[in-house]
């Protein structure tokens, strides 16, 4: 027997832990069944996390991609929207003042429309207000001017009437063009009448009746010799003409004010391009020559 084997055996015999009563100390600790089950579950869960198939990972990535795409689309649409559709967090002082005045104008105009319908608070005087407004229609004034022109026998009278007729045509065409451009509706849903359709008075801004009343009253005050009561009555008629359109719910207060200003500008323009007596006689002769076959 070799010497190193004998030495190892004697060493094992002398070791205290090799005795029968201490053999259990050299063996590894036995785990309980519960611990074994829990450890196996942990290992299986970790393996399942690391071994997920690609088909299960893709559905989780698709919603994230969709959300990213939606956020990008919203940002692009917000950038493409016009400035008027975007909410201004810090509006300017001019914008605040303009919106405030516009709100006051609409509110007061709606409250003043007391003759808009028969069931309104002042519905009993609606017919009188409508009759007053009819005296400011462009068709009525053009008809009256043509009748007076055919019966006038003086050159001065014909000169004034021809220029008045041109001023009325200018007023109707200008107001109709501005109304078509602005397309502002009245404070109340009131349908226009038959004469309004003929004179193209379809929208609210500017007020055609107020413009015509301002222009005609200024024109007559300047070119006709009238007594003081008639002058006061003419100015009062022009003022009541604008008020009547507000009471009917057809125009706002600002529409009437702008109409008065526009009528005054029409008067100034007609005075600048005033036609002489010879030019008026030429126009009258052309008009009578074109209409003479129908009267003969």
Where in the sequence numbering do the catalytic residues fall? 209, 251
Label each residue of 7-39 as H, E or C: HHHHHHHHCHHHCHHHHHHHCCCCCCHHHHHHH
In this structure, are residues 145 and 200 in contact, taking their beta carbons and an 8 Å threshold? Answer: no
In this structure, are residues 169 and 213 in contact, taking their beta carbons and an 8 Å threshold? Answer: no
In this structure, are residues 214 and 237 in contact, taking their beta carbons and an 8 Å threshold? Answer: no
State how far the Cα of 191 lies from the Cα of 59, in Å rounded to an integer: 60
Q: Which residues contact residue 274 at a Cβ distance below 8 angstroms, ignoring those fewer than 6 apart?
A: 163
State how far the Cα of 199 lies from the Cα of 241, in Å rounded to an integer: 16
CA distances from 70 to 65, 82, 285 (A): 9, 20, 74
Which of these, 184, 234, 235, 236, lies nearest to 208 by C-alpha position? 184
């Amino acid at each position: 027997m070799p010497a190193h084997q004998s030495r190892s055996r004697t060493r094992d015999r002398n070791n205290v832990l090799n005795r029968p009563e201490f053999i259990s100390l050299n063996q590894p600790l036995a785990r309980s069944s519960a611990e074994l089950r829990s450890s196996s579950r942990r290992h299986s869960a970790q393996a399942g996390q690391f071994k997920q198939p690609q088909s299960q990972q893709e559905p989780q990535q698709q919603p994230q991609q969709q959300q990213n795409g939606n956020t990008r689309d919203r940002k692009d649409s917000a950038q493409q929207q016009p400035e008027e559709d975007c909410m201004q967090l810090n509006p300017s002082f001019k914008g605040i003042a303009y919106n405030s005045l516009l709100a006051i104008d609409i509110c007061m105009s709606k409250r003043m429309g007391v003759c808009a319908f028969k069931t309104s608070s002042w519905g009993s005087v609606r017919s009188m207000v409508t009759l007053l407004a009819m005296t400011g229609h462009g068709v009525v004034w053009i008809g009256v001017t043509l009748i007076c022109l055919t019966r006038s026998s003086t050159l001065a009278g014909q000169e004034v009437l021809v220029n008045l007729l041109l001023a009325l045509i200018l007023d109707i065409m200008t107001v109709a063009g501005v109304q078509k451009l602005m397309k502002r509706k009245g404070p109340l849903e009131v349908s226009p009448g038959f004469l309004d359709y003929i004179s193209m008075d379809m929208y609210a801004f500017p007020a055609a009746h107020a413009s015509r009343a301002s222009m005609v009253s200024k024109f007559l005050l300047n070119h006709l010799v009238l007594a003081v009561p008639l002058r006061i009555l003419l100015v009062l008629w022009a003022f009541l003409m604008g008020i009547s359109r507000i009471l009917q719910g057809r125009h706002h207060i600002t529409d009437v004010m702008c109409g008065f200003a526009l009528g005054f500008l029409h008067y100034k323009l007609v005075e600048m391009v005033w036609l002489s007596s010879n030019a008026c006689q030429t126009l009258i002769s052309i008009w009578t020559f074109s209409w003479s076959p129908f009267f003969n």
